Amino acid sequence: MRRNPGAFGLRTWLYVLLVVLALPVVSMIALSFNASRYGTLPFRFSTHWYRVLTTDSALLDAVRTSVTLASEVTVICVIVGTLLTFGLHKASVVVAGPVNALLLALLTVPALILSAGLVSVFDWIGLGQTTLALVLASVVTSLPFVVLIESGRLQGLSPDYAEAARSLGAGPLRTFLTVTVPLMAPSIVAGGMLAFVICFNNFAIQLFLAPIGISTLPVQIYSMVRLGVTPDVNALGAIIVASTVLLIIVLNWLTGNAARLLTNTPTRER
């Protein structure tokens, strides 16, 4: 059998691309276990930098601040995004068109320009660099992703489920809570997870709008990188990568099982 040169070249390019994408993460994890402060060879396995990380109060405080901020923004985005998704689904084109255009603009405008614009708006209304301004700005940048994911799921749902519930006597609220929301559960969880990740890593918004004296993890790492990356940052990065992979596996399993449970999908007996 003759090999297709085009397919072989495409496969090779794909492997090279995967290596380039994975190399920084693998290098960071490997350096976090290297006893050398400067990552020099020979490699000597050590967990010293993980112990150093537990004593770095500034970095740990930044982690707690980022997790708290991302959790608050996620809750707001899931609630507002779900309601907005259903509202746009029922709204007329005259209303839904401009709102969808605004959400698309928020997705495409560069982060630095959007951050500068939000700073001007918050200064004009008197919020300035406050915690409330930071939360609102983070919601503005994360909400479009939640609406985008949930809208795709909602458009693919058959209206027969809701009509069947209404024909059995369920009111609009009960139909929404017991039929539509369970069917939307996987996309709601996925949207919330994406909102958390986007807010957690939103360096531009946090740099422009974080109150004085409050440092999130991206801003704290940026401040440290200007003086040189220390190995405890690599250790923290390795922990975040491992936690993210574990979270994706758990959520993938939970959302799949929740969808089957809530929609009462029958399983075949062996």
What's the number of domains the chain is made of?
A: 1
Q: How far apart are CA 164 and CA 154, in angstroms?
A: 17
33 domain-assigned: no
Query: Residue 89 sits in which domain range?
Result: 56-262
In a domain, 16, yes or no: no
pLDDT value for 266:
45
| Residue 214 lies inside a defined structural domain of this protein | yes
Return the CATH number at 218: 1.10.3720.10
User: N- to C-terminal Cα distance for the chain?
Assistant: 40
Q: Two tokens at 66? A: 């980022």
154 contacts 191 by C-beta, under 8 angstroms:
no
Q: Say if CB 216 and CB 138 are below 8 A apart.
A: no
Q: In the structure encoding, which two tokens stand for residue 48, read together?
A: 């010293």
Instruction: Divide the 270 residues of the chain into consecutive groups of 10 and give the mean pLDDT of each group.
Output: 69 88 86 78 80 82 91 93 87 83 86 88 86 91 90 78 78 79 83 89 88 86 76 84 81 60 46
User: Is 36 domain-assigned?
Assistant: no
Full-model pTM: 0.79
Token reading at 2: 């003759």
Whether residue 31 is contained in a domain is answered as no
- Asked whether residue 14 is domain-assigned, the answer is no
Residue 46 included in any domain:
no
